[in-house]
Amino acid sequence: MATDNPDFPDFPDFPDDSAVPESAMAAPSADAEYATPEGFRSGFVSFVGRPNTGKSTLTNALVGEKIAITANQPETTRHPIRGIVNRPDAQVILVDTPGLHRPRTLLGERLNEMVKETYSDVDVICLCIPADEKIGPGDRWIVEAVRAAAPNTPIVGVVTKLDKTPKDQVGAQLLELHEMLDQADVVPVSATKEVQLDVLLDVLTKHLPEGPRFYPEGHITDDDQNTRMAELIREAALTGLHEELPHSVAVQIDEVLQNPTREGVLNVHAVIFVEREGQKAILRGKDGRRLSKTVHDARQQIMALVGQNVYLDVRLKVAKNWQSDPKQLGRLGF
């Protein structure tokens, strides 16, 4: 496949065996925000792959703004996040899903089911494989799951983390992924360096059906503000954590209201849930310093999101074994 960046080699062109779905062009909306030219394409694209393969980072890079949190720990994404890419010829709606994995808890099972349900509602599925990791049984298991859940949905292979990998290794990874996906389109990208992002969007667009905008031009996500704030707090809390603790952290926004005495200040009250008292102590840190840093870091991001000064109040609570408790999972939105 040809590249558009002189710093990376030209990869072999692969035959295009995928058929572009055909659908009648919907009547344009009277609202100018939804107006589209003839031949406009629109649809939903789901990023799937093992945990920690760069799906959220790629989503943010394509949208051009941070809508999905990122962390070094796997299984960071907890719900499908829709990012909207508006182009002159298309509206591409990216659905960043939790990574498919062999679940160890009821939460893991529910996340997997959520991902599989997403397959049936999208027009294209992108399988993300890091360039610096060998394709293994877990990747093949995901391909089998995708094909079983959505046998007629085209799959595009995406080799991520291009900038971290030698060129010959990238080429070998592309060829192996191309073969594993039965000669489907494959695209190498670097989200952090913004390499090949336009090429990927071109490939995705050609697989989308003709149709109107689903969202007004200028929208970048359909996530509500409270969900985005909760995710930013969780990202700040996860920073630097290791082992099992990241999976035990959940965040809920309790209340958001304008400060009654300080004009222009938004009060945000949130709760971080963990499963055990020991985890609570870890998140608080010595003399409360770790929790103070979490609040500071999250507050900066929330202020950028809401565009005003924020007073952020974060409390820690124990919800014992919430990952395996159906009632508690329901209260936390899973």
Q: Is 51 annotated as a binding residue?
A: yes
Q: Is 56 annotated as a binding residue?
A: yes
* 155-160 β-sheet, strand order: 81-86, 90-96, 41-48, 124-130, 155-160, 186-188
| Radius of gyration for the alpha carbons in the chain, expressed in angstroms and rounded | 21
Q: Is 327 annotated as a binding residue?
A: no
**Neighbour tally for 316: CB within 10 Å:** 19
The token pair that represents 105 in the structure block: 């808890």
Q: Is 218 annotated as a binding residue?
A: no
Q: How far apart are CA 299 and CA 309, in angstroms?
A: 9
Q: Is 307 annotated as a binding residue?
A: no
Q: Is 230 exposed, middle or buried (0-12, 13-18, 19+ CB in 10 A)?
A: buried
Q: Is 98 annotated as a binding residue?
A: yes
Read off φ and ψ for residue 20, nearest 5 degrees.
-80, 125
Q: Is 97 annotated as a binding residue?
A: yes
Q: Is 96 annotated as a binding residue?
A: yes
Q: How far apart are CA 289 and CA 286, in angstroms?
A: 6
Upper half-sphere CA count for residue 120 (Cβ side, 13 Å): 6
Q: Is 84 helix (H, G, I), strand (E, B) or coil?
A: strand
Q: Is 83 annotated as a binding residue?
A: no
Q: Is 77 annotated as a binding residue?
A: no
Q: Is 59 annotated as a binding residue?
A: no
Cβ-Cβ contacts under 8 Å for 148 (sequence gap 6 or more): none
Q: Is 36 annotated as a binding residue?
A: no
Q: Is 163 annotated as a binding residue?
A: yes
Q: Is 105 annotated as a binding residue?
A: no
H or E segment at 204? helix 197-207
Q: Is 293 annotated as a binding residue?
A: no
Where is the binding site, in residues? 49-56, 96-100, 160-163
Where is the binding site for GTP, in residues? 49-56, 96-100, 160-163
